[in-house]
Structure 1
Amino acid sequence: MPVQKTKPKKPDFILLFASVILLSIGLIMVLSAGSLFSFNETDNSFFLFYKQLRWACLGLVAAFIAVLIPYKFWKKFSGIGIVVSIFLLLMVEFSNLAVTAKGSARWLKILGVSVQPSEIAKFSLVLFLAYILNRYPVKKLKDLILPLSVMGVILLLVYKQPDLGTAIVILLACGAMLLMTELPLGYFLAAILLFGIPGFFLVKNTEYQWNRILGWLYPWKYASTFGFQIVNAQIAFGTGGLLGIGIGQSSKNGYLPENYTDTIFAVIGEEFGFFGTTFVLICFILLIARAYMISRQCPDRYGRLLGFGISSLLALQTAVNLCVVTGIFPVTGITLPLISYGGSSLLITMFEIGILLNISRYRQSEKGI
């Protein structure tokens, strides 16, 4: 396919538009879904909304900076990012700064601000792999020793929090990046077995993870325990029908757990109905499809790897969250990008989108597109 070289241009409008729409929807839904919790905890119905709005403003600044700085600049932070990520993940495991919620220690409280190291680790690992796979192309199995070793350390530390959902997203996103190498497919199948078989037995021997699988397989049998979240998400979708019951009128008033984080898409379904959820899905499809297209059109291998890795993180996190809330997958604790409440996730996601927008300024135009 003939390729026409172009000078740096304006950031991709479609990616920018979809991102802004989803961010706006997210702020509205955090206000709607989180108002009752905010009032019960602080006597201020806007508490969570204001916190998310502050993170959104920081995210916009981060995205703006990323749009202005050439994406190749981030190469020099590949190693530093991994070191910082491992250090922060170890702090979650061993320091008294770790914050535990519902049996999981996934956050650090630093200067009064909660930070989720696994979100930083996800991006850092993609940044590292993009640099390594570009600098040292994989031609033999031994060339995978370094990237797989770093992946293994990050995955183990994330799983130990415990956060199996994030570990799976990281594994699949990095696996997608490795597929861009020249190794035969058989090696990837072997890698899947290498990580997959021990992973299955880890889940099987971890009670709360196995209970989540039981709740997924038999949600109505365990409707009051392991299947509670899945069952009530289905009820929320059913209640919403085609048009929804109206903003602020949803199951935030009682029965839907994690309604401003993990299951916020079910709140959208209940308040805005089938048409509302369809609109959100279209926005995500636009964002993700455009992200992959921008990555494919990048003129150099590093940019393609970096863009593909970021696109895969966004696509997988979105897909896993939507599959969980609709009952296709077991509960994982993965949030919905740009929509769910969560400062670290929102900030990192917007920074990643900023990098994609910067890559779009240098992409090559292909005839027929």
Structure 2
Amino acid sequence: MTDMVHGSVHVDPYENGEPGLARWWRSVDRWTLALVLILFLIGLLLGQAASPPLAERNGLDPFHYVTRQAFFGVLGLTVMLIISLMSPSAVRRCAIVAFIIVTIAVILLPVLGTNYGKGATRWYSLGFMSLQPSEFLKPAFVIFAAWLMSASFTRNGPPGRSLSFLVLMFLVALLAMQPDIGQASLLFASWGVMVFVAGAPWAVLIGIVGLACGGLYAAYLLFPNHIAPRIDRFLEGEVGANSQLEFATTAIREGGLFGVGLGEGSVKWRLPDAHTDYIVAVAAEEYGLVMVLVLLALFLTITLRAIWRLRLEKDPFIRIAGTGLAMLIAVQSFINIGVSARLLPEKGMTLPFVSYGGSSLLAAGITLGMLLAFTRTRRQDDLEDALYAGHVE
């Protein structure tokens, strides 16, 4: 807590006259860069194992989905690197504009979107790919909410936490109408952590937990055909025969510690979403528990490294926004792995940088790029400067 208030002396790579790329390389978290690259390569490996059966069913080239995953993954990594070169203020300005655009796109989904026969209108069809705006809404909202919260630290600043809460409730309502309770839960969880970092009192935090429980119960009542059956099955411990969850849990059980071997798994022939929502089941069956633990360790390390570097940050906007972005990655990966392992009710959600999906890979690149920009080593100015010298616009 003392470090958050008084800061720490960092080596400042911005005052030594180095070229831009050299300064970036000295200041960026290179370990996180390496970990993200490893996640992407693991995603290609698992995609090559999981996607050929789907390509065969759809009459496509066996490596169709792997090729597309490589393309969007490289694009996502490129976007990540470009954003990581930006200053926090530039990231904030771009993200606020993006937040407005993406929010409008989510509002127009019932009119212009498509459901691809999945019962939820979440995508725009662009011909060569589908676009899921809620994926991009998450990082943009985190930056927008952090901007509002940090504004309350200025003299005579607005009630940032209250304003961000109103925006959150509006977005949760929009996502619930699709319905997309998973993405709505991600937004709420990230916002709750950001409010904690922003210094909300314990009474407010307890109220947030109560509101989350009430929201989950409301979703259970309002969506009897979509949410209620999943929660009922989870609480009762029942797994429907020939369901995706039954195939996934069987695959994890049969994989054991070291798996059945590369290409020897059978779950990819039964699960239509083996390359996306249930990619962990493929990993567990063919590579065993060891691969699942590796994935957990990678996501956990990325999250903890971000929080460790942010603990020294005195600019409230950077500290709040960076924590929110780290929580997005952590909570989404936990939900994906938790569903496959039957630790959570069924919920379709991709594993960042590992699952197939153009929108997911691009959004993950944007999220990590912002996080890398915020966790770069920079000079820690006096607290007075951080609060009042233009950090909040």
TM-score, normalization by structure 2: 0.85
The one-letter code of the counterpart of 2:106 is L
Change (3 A) 1:137 1:51: same
> What SS is found at the alignment partner of 2:277?
coil
Is 1:343 paired with 2:343? no
Kept in 2, the 8 Å contact 1:299–1:364? The answer is no
Once residues 3 and 140 of structure 1 are traced to their aligned partners in structure 2, the CA distance between those partners, rounded to angstroms, is 26
Question: Corresponding residue for 2:186?
Answer: 169
Is 1:28 paired with 2:45? yes
Change (3 A) 1:231 1:284: same
Question: Corresponding residue for 2:262?
Answer: 247
Change (3 A) 1:202 1:352: closer
Question: Corresponding residue for 2:12?
Answer: 7
Q: CA deviation at 1:148?
A: 1.1
The one-letter code of the counterpart of 1:235 is T
> What SS is found at the alignment partner of 2:351?
coil
Once residues 140 and 356 of structure 1 are traced to their aligned partners in structure 2, the CA distance between those partners, rounded to angstroms, is 25
Is 1:305 paired with 2:305? no
Aligned sequence identity (%): 27
The one-letter code of the counterpart of 1:216 is F
Is 1:135 paired with 2:151? yes
Deviations 1:152-197 (A, max 9, x none): 1111111111111111111000111011223311122223334532
Question: Corresponding residue for 1:230?
Answer: 245
Change (3 A) 1:144 1:351: closer
Kept in 2, the 8 Å contact 1:66–1:358? The answer is yes
State the Cα RMSD in Å.
Answer: 2.3
Deviations 1:191-222 (A, max 9, x none): 333453244122233122111112223344x4
Farther off after superposition, 267-276 or 349-358:
349-358
Change (3 A) 1:141 1:101: farther
TM-score, normalization by structure 1: 0.91
Change (3 A) 1:33 1:199: same
1:110 to 123, 126, 131: 126
Kept in 1, the 8 Å contact 2:148–2:160? The answer is no
Kept in 1, the 8 Å contact 2:114–2:124? The answer is yes
Change (3 A) 1:224 1:120: same
Question: Corresponding residue for 1:82?
Answer: 99
The one-letter code of the counterpart of 1:127 is I
Kept in 2, the 8 Å contact 1:109–1:115? The answer is yes
Q: CA deviation at 1:58?
A: 1.0
Kept in 2, the 8 Å contact 1:269–1:277? The answer is yes
- Which aligned pairs between 1:1-369 and structure 2 lie closer than 5 A? 3-8=8-13, 9-95=26-112, 97-110=113-126, 112-137=128-153, 143-206=160-223, 207-220=225-238, 222-224=239-241, 228-363=243-378
Once residues 157 and 78 of structure 2 are traced to their aligned partners in structure 1, the CA distance between those partners, rounded to angstroms, is 42
Change (3 A) 1:158 1:10: same
Once residues 119 and 260 of structure 1 are traced to their aligned partners in structure 2, the CA distance between those partners, rounded to angstroms, is 18
Paired positions, count: 361
Deviations 1:15-49 (A, max 9, x none): 11111101110111112101110122133111111
Once residues 230 and 298 of structure 2 are traced to their aligned partners in structure 1, the CA distance between those partners, rounded to angstroms, is 30
Kept in 2, the 8 Å contact 1:66–1:351? The answer is yes
